[in-house]
């Protein structure tokens, strides 16, 4: 295949030239690129010297490689198609740090994918990204890709196995610039939140702040979850141990990468773990979440959980574009109900026979707070 130039709503996809390489080097030097790119980094002189020849050979093998430039020739992205199967190509793309937030990725992806269908006869364009790369995921969804799941240890990133999101688009599914997917605004807001640093949160209660869970919390976490009242009303593992806390610590970090849960620890004035509060997005419509919480026995009776729930609910409405937060608690858990009501939740009724653990079903109160 001979190189082909594509137009992409104010951008051009062109063959790589020597003049592009200095800016490509700057792209590869960006910390966010290093975080999610699979290729060996830093980019060596040897790799740079071979790059143009490699691109030419890929074109000859029907694997297009484009530099994405603006009208004045400024490099803003790269995009490539690589044969995976007889009628499938995989797409990879990279946006320059100076061009983020301008819709560059979606325009380049759309143009390259359309070329794959119309000019290469492909039946599918596949996509993947290391879990946590919400910017790549959002761009793919915007153009019409369906995220189909997670491939565990699906890629090797410089010697380390990483989970990756996988997905694809088939002919007829590409979305145009005036046709965003449903709830795209919510997805965009949440992607920006999860790509940023997780902020500590100040509460309205004196001596209390909310922060991420850390390794130094695990002994207190284990003690709090082994407490009789916590065991009675929650679904934490029975006979909770330090090993359970370690597993939860890893799980919590993975859930944050996936963008499915937002967990915060209640920390006292000496930064001691005093409980946790969590928003759960997974399995719910965009804009909805469920809240869960528990207070360590040594921190009960101070009104801290009410303040923590209000604080995290505010974050959900203001930073995650939530419209409704649901609360559930086993019937009889008066402490949880008092917290919910004081935080503004409206009790809506009782769900019968809700799963509460292996072989155990209970009735559950349910309520909600609206943004």
Which domain range does residue 209 map to? 201-370
| Averaged pLDDT for residues 244-269 | 97
Cβ-based burial of 150 (10 A; exposed 0-12, middle 13-18, buried ≥19): middle
Is the domain of 251 the same as that of 144? Answer: no
List beta partners, residue 361.
Answer: 355
Looking at residue 140, what is its pLDDT?
Answer: 98
Encode pLDDT of 111-157 as tens digits: 999 999 999 999 999 999 999 999 999 999 999 999 999 999 999 99
Is the domain of 210 the same as that of 176? Answer: no
| Averaged pLDDT for residues 257-285 | 97
Encode pLDDT of 275-304 as tens digits: 999 999 999 999 999 999 999 999 999 999
Is the domain of 257 the same as that of 152? Answer: no
Residue 262: other Cβ atoms inside 10 A: 25
Is the domain of 46 the same as that of 177? Answer: yes
Q: With a cut of 90, say whether residue 357 has pLDDT above it.
A: no
Residue 207 in any domain: the answer is yes
What is the overall mean pLDDT for the chain?
A: 97
Looking at residue 41, what is its pLDDT?
Answer: 92
The torsion angles phi and psi of 95, rounded to 5 degrees, stand at: -110, 135
Residue 109 in any domain: the answer is yes
Q: With a cut of 90, say whether residue 258 has pLDDT above it.
A: yes
The torsion angles phi and psi of 354, rounded to 5 degrees, stand at: -85, 140
CB 343 within 8 A of CB 310: yes
CB 169 within 8 A of CB 113: yes
Looking at residue 79, what is its pLDDT?
Answer: 98
Alpha carbon 17 to chain centroid distance?
A: 34
Residue 222 in any domain: the answer is yes
Encode pLDDT of 324-334 as tens digits: 999 999 999 99
Looking at residue 358, what is its pLDDT?
Answer: 86
List beta partners, residue 88.
Answer: 85, 124
Is the domain of 162 the same as that of 247? Answer: no
Looking at residue 4, what is its pLDDT?
Answer: 98
Percent of residues, the chain, with pLDDT higher than 90: 97
Sheet holding 346-357: strands in order across? 201-202, 209-211, 261-267, 273-280, 288-295, 324-330, 360-370, 346-357
The torsion angles phi and psi of 173, rounded to 5 degrees, stand at: -105, -10
CB 109 within 8 A of CB 66: no
Kindly report the pTM of this predicted structure. Answer: 0.94
Q: How many domains does the chain have?
A: 2
How many angstroms separate the CA atoms of 140 and 183, rounded?
15
Residue 49 in any domain: the answer is yes
Encode pLDDT of 44-98 as tens digits: 999 999 999 999 999 999 999 999 999 999 999 999 999 998 999 999 999 999 9
How many angstroms separate the CA atoms of 324 and 289, rounded?
7
Residues 6+ apart with CB under 8 A from 86: none
Is the domain of 100 the same as that of 244? Answer: no
Encode pLDDT of 160-216 as tens digits: 999 999 999 999 999 999 999 999 999 999 999 999 999 899 999 999 999 999 999
Closest CA relative to residue 180, chosen from 129, 139, 124: 139
The angle subtended at Cα 336 by Cα 331 and Cα 339, nearest 5°, is 140
Instruction: State whether residue 7 is helix, strand or coil.
Output: strand
- Which CATH number characterizes residue 234's domain? 3.40.630.30
Residue 191 in any domain: the answer is no
Is the domain of 172 the same as that of 74? Answer: yes
Is the domain of 263 the same as that of 333? Answer: yes
């Amino acid at each position: 295949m001979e190189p082909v130039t594509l137009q992409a709503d104010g951008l051009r996809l062109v063959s790589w030239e020597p003049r592009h390489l200095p800016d490509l080097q700057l792209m590869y030097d960006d910390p966010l690129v290093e975080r999610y790119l699979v290729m060996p980094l830093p980019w060596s002189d040897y790799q740079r010297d071979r790059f143009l020849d490699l691109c030419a050979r890929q074109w000859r093998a029907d694997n297009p490689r484009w530099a994405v430039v603006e009208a004045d020739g400024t490099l803003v992205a790269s995009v490539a198609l690589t044969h995976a199967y007889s009628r499938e190509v995989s797409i990879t793309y990279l946006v320059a740090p100076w061009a983020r937030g301008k819709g560059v990725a979606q325009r380049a992806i759309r143009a390259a994918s359309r070329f794959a269908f119309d000019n290469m006869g492909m039946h599918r364009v596949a996509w993947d990204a290391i879990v946590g790369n919400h910017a790549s995921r959002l761009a793919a969804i915007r153009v019409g890709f369906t995220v189909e799941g997670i491939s565990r240890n699906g890629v090797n990133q410089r010697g380390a196995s990483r989970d990756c999101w996988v997905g694809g688009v088939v002919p007829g599914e590409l979305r145009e610039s005036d046709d965003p997917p449903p709830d795209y605004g919510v997805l965009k807001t949440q992607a920006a939140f999860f790509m940023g640093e997780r902020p500590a949160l100040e509460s309205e209660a004196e001596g209390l702040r909310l922060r991420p869970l850390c390794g130094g919390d695990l002994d207190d976490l284990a003690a709090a979850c082994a407490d009789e009242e916590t065991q009675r009303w929650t679904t934490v593992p029975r006979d909770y141990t330090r090993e359970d806390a370690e597993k939860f610590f890893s799980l919590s970090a993975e859930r944050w990468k996936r963008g499915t849960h937002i967990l915060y620890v209640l920390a006292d004035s000496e930064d001691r773990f005093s409980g946790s509060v969590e928003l759960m997005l997974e399995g719910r419509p965009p804009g909805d979440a469920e809240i869960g919480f528990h207070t360590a026995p040594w921190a009960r009776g101070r009104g801290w959980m009410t303040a923590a729930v209000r604080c995290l609910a505010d974050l959900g409405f203001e930073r995650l574009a939530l419209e409704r937060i649901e609360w559930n608690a086993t019937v009889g858990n008066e402490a949880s109900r008092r917290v919910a009501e004081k935080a503004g939740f409206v009790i809506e009724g009782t769900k019968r026979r809700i799963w509460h653990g292996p072989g155990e079903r209970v009735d559950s109160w349910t309520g909600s707070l609206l943004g």
